[in-house]
Amino acid sequence: MKMPHPSLITLTLLVMQLSSTSGGKILVFPLDGSHWINMKVIIEELHARGHEITVLRPSDSWYIEEKSPLYTSITLSCRGGFKENFDTNLSQQLEIRLQMKPGHFWSNFWAQMQMRGVLLDQFFQFHKRLGDVITHVFENEDLMQSLHADKYDMVLTDPGIGGGAMLARRLHLPLVFNVRWTIQGEAHFLIAPSPLSYIPFTATQLRDKMTFPQRLKNVLSYFMGMFTLSYITEPAYKPIVRRFFGPDVDYSTFFLDADIWLMRNDFVFEFPRPTVPNVVYMGGFQCKPPKPLPADLEEFVQSSGEHGVVIMTLGTLMSNLPQGISEEIAAAFAQLPQKVIWRYTGQRPNNLGNNTLLVKWLPQNDLLGHPKTRAFITHGGTNGVQEAIYHGVPVVGLPLFFDQPDNLSRVRAKGAAVIVDIAMLDRHIFKEALMAVIYNSTYGNTMQTLSKLHRDQPMKPLDQAVFWIEYVMRHKGARHLQTHSHKMSWFVYSSVDVFAALLAAALLATLIWIAVVRFLWRTIFSGRKTKLH
């Protein structure tokens, strides 16, 4: 059965009612890397709608261009070398990851601890550098004065870095987050009640239905995770907050004080969980219908005939692999009747099949939206997974770091992905996973259903995001959507004091009751005794 839809007339009237021509002034403090790719999608849309955008970028930025038709940039000087460090850390993590074979509990535990150490160091360096950047901004009085003088309407930032929220506070501007992670972990855990009985904590790869041991693991992971995070971010940001905002200011309140949280996920992707009114879900906002492929690529795709093509890419951070693994992958690909397009910048495997095309870059969205695409092999970055859902392409996951195992475990829980452990990968296992996803129609059908659900929203995610950014500018914030929760201490929030008072009252009442009964008992008893004697 198909349904009619809100009439065009009503929507037209709504649009006309809210439309206007003059633009706002937005100060953007982005996070580099894949997060910038996301932010740029929003900036493009804001620019198209007539807003004036200023982007703060570090001088050694990986991706954030100094010159752009979309925005004016302000470059903040940084001592370089960060990207190199980051890459070294990633390689170390991959090396450790490859040693972790199933069934070796203690050696895996040890590897996990080592990996956590490298990751902590990486995150610590990362936030230390970002802390330096925002310190430079605050110290630069000319810059601060000109930022004040420019009279921005709001700050748009990624709370995966701490500087944007601090800058918004310093400039007294409304604040909107483009968010997947914050400096204090996954965003929902900070702002929405997240019962650990059915909300899997970050990096546990658990789902919303958990056994008792899984729930135990979840609770322990939560406390360990929150402790670790505070260990990373406190030293990076606390001294800055103390210096520029005063000794009594808690740095975390800045982040909890955002007007709107634009979340880069939705409940087709994420397990359903409690949320709060100032959270807007815009998962898949970067997805769009495919554009035609370049002629040579289209020709290669068409040459696959009825078998179709398989796409493989491991994202912006990791585009090559140890030779041994890439050869196993190549061998598996060579046995497929499909054609394969593989984004790979490492050394060309010797055993590469004729059906496999190695490329340095691929038009991911256009390829995923191609009718001949049968499967997507991904590391499980949020963007890739969202695009696979949008286009309804089933997934073989090769998770490496960060949120990748969690992202993929969500798609697997829904029945649209097979995950391969990279440490165990050989040509047979990999081929088996590919064959399952390509030839067992439940994976494809499930992904098609997810795609339909994801696309069926009252408003497109990107329009939704821009609506709320403009809303914050129209109303100078969105305080009425902020819950009162983060203005309370944890013990008030959790009513510990109230329950303690009730318990004390109950105890007191019991004691009085016992005393009265004893008194009455004694009176009667001693009275009797007297009589008896």
What residues numbered 261-280 form the site for a second copy, per CB under 8 A?
267-268, 271-278
8 belongs to the binding site for a second copy (CB under 8 A): yes
Residue 145 burial (CB count, 10 A): 10
Nearest-angstrom CA–CA distance, 113 and 107? 10
Least distance to a second copy, CB of residue 82, Å? 36
Least distance to a second copy, CB of residue 505, Å? 9
Least distance to a second copy, CB of residue 488, Å? 6
Residues 19-58 that bind a second copy (CB under 8 A): 19-24, 49-51
Least distance to a second copy, CB of residue 382, Å? 18
Q: Determine the residue type at 530.
A: T
456 belongs to the binding site for a second copy (CB under 8 A): yes
Question: Chain centroid to CA 16: how far?
Answer: 34
Among 63, 110, 138, 198, binds a second copy (CB under 8 A): 198
464 belongs to the binding site for a second copy (CB under 8 A): yes
| Contact in structure between 370 and 387 (CB atoms under 8 Å) | no
Region of 204-212, 252-260, 330-338, 394-402 interacting with a second copy (CB under 8 A): 204-212
291 belongs to the binding site for a second copy (CB under 8 A): no
Question: Chain centroid to CA 99: how far?
Answer: 27
485 belongs to the binding site for a second copy (CB under 8 A): yes
Cα three-residue angle 488-490-495, rounded to 5 degrees: 90
| Contact in structure between 274 and 267 (CB atoms under 8 Å) | no
501 belongs to the binding site for a second copy (CB under 8 A): yes
> What are the residues whose beta carbons fall under 8 Å from the beta carbon of 406, sequence distance 6 or more?
200, 202, 203, 204, 205
| Contact in structure between 416 and 446 (CB atoms under 8 Å) | yes
Give start and end residues of each alpha helix (H) in 140-211.
141-149, 163-171, 187-191
Residue among 70 and 94 whose Cβ is closer to a second copy: 70
Q: Which of 332, 365, 316 has its CA nearest to residue 37?
A: 316
Among 255, 386, 492, 529, binds a second copy (CB under 8 A): 492
Q: Which of 107, 346, 77, 125 has its CA nearest to residue 233?
A: 125
> 246: phi > 0 → left, psi -120 to 50 → alpha, else beta; which?
left
Strand, helix or coil for residue 426:
coil
The 8-class DSSP code of residue 349 comes to P
Region of 168-176, 299-307, 344-352, 483-491 interacting with a second copy (CB under 8 A): 483-491
Q: Determine the residue type at 41.
A: V
Nearest-angstrom CA–CA distance, 44 and 286? 11
Least distance to a second copy, CB of residue 513, Å? 20
211 belongs to the binding site for a second copy (CB under 8 A): no
208 belongs to the binding site for a second copy (CB under 8 A): yes
Among 113, 219, 507, 512, binds a second copy (CB under 8 A): 219
Nearest-angstrom CA–CA distance, 75 and 140? 12
3 belongs to the binding site for a second copy (CB under 8 A): yes
467 belongs to the binding site for a second copy (CB under 8 A): yes
Q: CA gyration radius for the chain?
A: 28
> What are the residues whose beta carbons fall under 8 Å from the beta carbon of 411, sequence distance 6 or more?
269, 385, 388, 389, 395, 397, 417
Among 55, 96, 133, 196, binds a second copy (CB under 8 A): 196
Least distance to a second copy, CB of residue 94, Å? 34
193 belongs to the binding site for a second copy (CB under 8 A): yes
Among 116, 307, 427, 460, binds a second copy (CB under 8 A): 460
**Half-sphere exposure of residue 492: CA atoms within 13 angstroms, side-chain side:** 6
Among 488, 504, 511, 512, binds a second copy (CB under 8 A): 488
Among 79, 209, 522, 529, binds a second copy (CB under 8 A): 209
Applying CB under 8 A, the site for a second copy has a residue count of 78
Residues 148-187 that bind a second copy (CB under 8 A): 153
Residue among 83 and 452 whose Cβ is closer to a second copy: 452
481 belongs to the binding site for a second copy (CB under 8 A): yes
**DSSP element (H, E) containing 185:** strand 185-186
Among 453, 516, 517, 520, binds a second copy (CB under 8 A): 453
Region of 194-202, 346-354, 369-377, 509-517 interacting with a second copy (CB under 8 A): 194-202
